[in-house]
Structure 1
Amino acid sequence: MSIYLPDASWRHHNGLGHLIDVFGGDSMIRFVGGGVRDSLLKTAVSDIDCATRHHPEETVKLIKDAGFKAVPTGIQHGTVTAVLPSGPVEITSLRKDVSTDGRHATIAYSDSWQDDAMRRDFTINALYAEPNSSLIHDYFGGIADLEAGCVRFIGDPETRIAEDHLRILRYFRFQARFGRGIPDAASLAACIKRANDLMALSRERIASELIKILALPAPLAIITLMIQSGIFTPIIPEIRDNSLKQLKRLLEREKAYSVKGDPLLRLAALLPEDPELGRSIAQRLRFSKEQKKYLIALLTPTQDAPCALAWKIGKQAAIGHIVLFREEDALPSTMSLLQDWECPVFPLKGGDLIKKGLPAGPIVATTLQGIQQQWIEAGFPEAEWVHQKADQAIDQFLLAAK
């Protein structure tokens, strides 16, 4: 029985129909992957991906012929992005693998839709839809798997993983999103067997996929499965079974206090409260400077008052640290306070102290830091209070210097 792509708003995006016509219609270009899968599930489609029989250089020409900008986002892999008035559309030439090493693939272009489908990871991602007729082409039982909530590799799972080791982490992310019930035994077994292959991947690719997993609406079940399967051992061995208790508590508190799901905060929940460990993992996963600073702040023990902590490490990090580590009875009032709190600006600079009579030199920074600490401990009083403290500190210094 033929199955057709449901109508959806994304299919009527400005310029998309014209682009399809210029490419030659159903025989030359088709929707593929997430757009087809998510439309069948009647969920929102965030990205429009197409596959085409045209080679990349032809794709660029046709996009320009249609009157749109062509961006060679991944042209070495056959992907060109068409920038439509309604947003980007990624168009990738049909491909087949010539050789792979687990990180990179050497490809050849093809005119076979099934060749292209064979090199995709999961059956539910290898669905192609003719844009005009809406007929869906399903080469590996992806529609049945989608209906059953089964995330399954195409062909032999170990072969698929050997082609690209990142598919191990992608498997767990897709299992969390689309899987129901017991995971596909062969797929899970292959991921467990080949978990050490993750060590061959770039840290950036691992970090990107891990953050996507941790950002899922309800990641506890899949993180539990990953820990029990030993998936974290090669990349973050510090994550252990006992990490789950703290993650579970964090997820409960996120819901109770309307805290936005934060992947780095959830990562911190899986780790001991140790800033040096946070630094080590951030470096291991090649986190940005901002991500590294944030993770270290989350894992640094402190008993600072809520607003004092927010001033020192930022409001977001302070809320995260408090939700993660503080006792339950203090949370309602603390969260209410912080959510409406605006960080004040310290109303004193080193130049102000010099103008008041303090001699230039290291004593300026030392005095400024001391007054700032008093200001924080006093609950951020007004500028007049700060300047009074500055005058007192300068008087004491000058008296001692006589």
Structure 2
Amino acid sequence: MTTSIRRAPWFSETATRRVMAALEAACPSGARFVGGCVRNTLLGEPVTDIDIATQLEPDETIAALEAAGIRAIPTGYEHGTITAIANSEPFEITTLRRDVETDGRRAVVAFTKDWAEDAARRDFRMNALYADMQGDVHDPTGGGLEDLEARKIIFIGEPDMRLREDHLRNLRFFRFSAWYAGGIDPDGLAACARLKDGLQQIAAERIWKEFLRLMEAPSPYAAVEAMDGAGVLAQILPETEGIERLSGAARIEAGAGLKLSGFERFLCFLQPDRDTVKAVASRLRMSRLEQDRIVEFAKNAGKLSADLTGHDLKAVLYTMGRMTARDEIIWRWSGDQDGRWASILETAESWERPVFPVTGGDLIKQGVQPGPAMGERLRELEARWIANGFSMDGLSD
């Protein structure tokens, strides 16, 4: 495996060079790229965020950036993080740190100039790779490059210690295994099982964000199976009745050539009971859009069946809407190997949903007063229009 990132397009961009030059001017050889941008470049994966570690302390980082005409935002000042905005692009710059005290959720840190100390406080060896201004990669833990080559997710030092420092690393272990690994490290898995109760200390929204990112991996199924076996899945999603339906989702993706979203896969853990899904959405502190989506999924459960065809199918699809219909089809198909679901999904995806041609304004012109009666009249007309093949022909006003 190469030990240089200098050929990466982002590495030579003007904004990147501006930020690094500003830090270099204040502290020669005191800034290095770190984490995902280095890891993903070496793996040939897309790079979306550029993180930089520096020996400069936060005030010094701000001064260095401003001296170069670069905007500096103290986004995480207490923990040493400053966000630089260069050419409208963000760069997160963090002072080298060592943990002084941790409680499983957050850490008290002290700044350092020692790259090895900074690396030692990180989660996995492949995430503790640094690259200097020339693009040469440094591996302070001595195992990061080896792990990348073997596609293994290995904790730095003792797994139990890393997890006790931040219990969210339990989910990160499974997420990174799903995205980057060729298997599950048994020592890391055993530690996650031992310390799964620590996830109760983590804020629900952080758990949901991490879990959804896991479910968005190209193929999260092996990691989820390991998570289930370790008891971690039940810890974060006690409402699940098992992963059998998720296995059905894997079958759909492999057999039908579909690409499911992380949210569609997530729904396979649940039964479409309205009270249950509302409780899940609330507990995990989902966004309003996500809450609305999961409630619509439950509300429309059972409306579709594999034997629906023609106008009967389209009438149901119309009342559900495209996204809800897809969620329902995937959920039903994942638990039912009936091949007709493929045709139903194709119809739902390709059918152009018609627009009901009558509005409140049309009824006002006919003398109907605005209010509940108008709404009832519109719903009645729409139902008749649907039953008439989405046509007003032959319908009286």
Q: Give the TM-score taking structure 1 as reference length.
A: 0.87
Which residue in 1 is equivalent to 2:340? 330
Instruction: Tell me the distance in 2 between the aligned counterparts of 1:264 and 1:136.
Output: 37
Match of 1:50 among 49, 52, 66: 52
Q: Helix, strand or coil: the match of 1:138?
A: coil
- Deviation per residue, 1:107-144 (Å, 9 max, x gap): 12111111111111111111112122624233242112
Q: What residue is the counterpart of 1:122 in the other structure?
A: 124
How far residue 364 of structure 1 moved from its aligned partner, in angstroms, is: 2.5
Is structure 2 residue 373 aligned with structure 1 residue 372? no
What value does the CA root-mean-square deviation take over the aligned residues?
2.5
Paired residue for 2:114? 112
Describe the shift of the 1:257–1:135 C-alpha distance in structure 2 as closer, same or farther (beyond 3 A): closer
Residues 165-176 of structure 1: pairs in structure 2 closer than 5 A: 165-176=167-178
Check whether the contact 1:265–1:295 (CA below 8 A) recurs between aligned residues.
no
Q: Which moved more, 1:201-210 or 1:305-314?
A: 305-314
Cα displacement string for residues 1-46 of structure 1 (whole angstroms, at most 9, x for unaligned residues): x944452112111222232122127621001111222222233222
Q: Give how far 1:238 is off.
A: 2.2
Task: Indicate yes or no: 2:206 matched with 1:199.
Answer: no
Q: 1:44 to 1:288 in 2, by over 3 A?
A: closer
With over 3 angstroms needed to count, the CA separation of the structure-2 counterparts of 1:309 and 1:89, relative to structure 1, is: farther
Aligned to 2:307: none
Q: Aligned to 1:352, which of 342, 345, 362?
A: 362
Alignment of 1:241-390 (within 5 A): 241=242, 243-244=243-244, 246-254=245-253, 259-299=258-298, 300-304=300-304, 305-326=312-333, 328-358=338-368, 361-382=371-392, 388-389=395-396
Does residue 148 of structure 2 align to residue 146 of structure 1? yes
Following superposition, the deviation at residue 306 of structure 1 comes to 4.5
8 Å contact from structure 2 (residues 15, 89) kept in 1: no
Following TM superposition, by how much is the alpha carbon of 1:269 offset from its aligned partner in structure 2, in angstroms? 0.9
Structure-2 change in CA distance of 1:315 and 1:361 (3 Å): closer
Residue identity in the other structure for 2:330: V
Q: 1:298 to 1:361 in 2, by over 3 A?
A: closer
Aligned residue number for residue 77 of structure 1: 79
CA distance in 1, matches of 2:229, 2:294: 24
State the alpha-carbon separation in 2 of the partners of residues 96 and 309 from structure 1.
58
Range with bigger deviation, 45-54 or 321-330? 321-330
Q: By how many angstroms is 1:354 displaced?
A: 4.3
Give the one of 156, 167, 181 matched to 1:179: 181
Number of positions where the alignment pairs a residue of Structure 1 with one of Structure 2: 384
What is the Cα deviation at residue 76 of structure 1? Answer: 2.9
Q: Deviations over 1:36-82 (max 9, x none)?
A: 22222233222211100111222122222222222333233221222
SS of the residue aligned with 2:344? helix
Aligned residues of 1:26 and 1:130 also touching (Cα < 8 A): no
Amino-acid identity (%): 36
CA-to-partner distance for each residue in 1:77-116, whole Å, 9 max, x for gaps? 2212222237322111111112111111111211111111
Distance 1:191 1:137 in 2: 25
1:192 is displaced (CA, Å) by 0.5
Q: CA deviation at 1:315?
A: 0.9
2:14 counterpart SS class = coil
Verify: 1:19 aligned to 2:15, yes or no: no
Matched, 1:59 2:73: no
Q: Rg: which structure is higher?
A: 1
C-alpha spacing 1:201/1:209, structure 2 compared with 1 (3 Å): same
Partner of 2:308: none
Moved more, 278-287 or 290-299: 290-299
1:165-208 per-residue CA deviation (whole Å, 9 max, x = no partner) reads: 10000001111222224x33332111101111111111100000
More displaced stretch, 186-195 vs 139-148: 139-148
Cα contact 2:6–2:134 (8 A) shared by 1: no
Cα distance in structure 2, aligned partners of 1:74 and 1:306: 53
More deviation, 267-276/2-11: 2-11
Range moving further from structure 2, 370-379 or 263-272: 370-379
Which residues of structure 1 form unaligned runs of 5+? Answer: 392-402
Letter of the 1:298 counterpart: F
**Structure 2: stretches of 5+ with no match in the other structure:** 305-311
**DSSP-derived class of the 1:232 partner:** helix
* Corresponding position of 1:400: none
Q: Helix, strand or coil for the counterpart of 1:27? A: coil
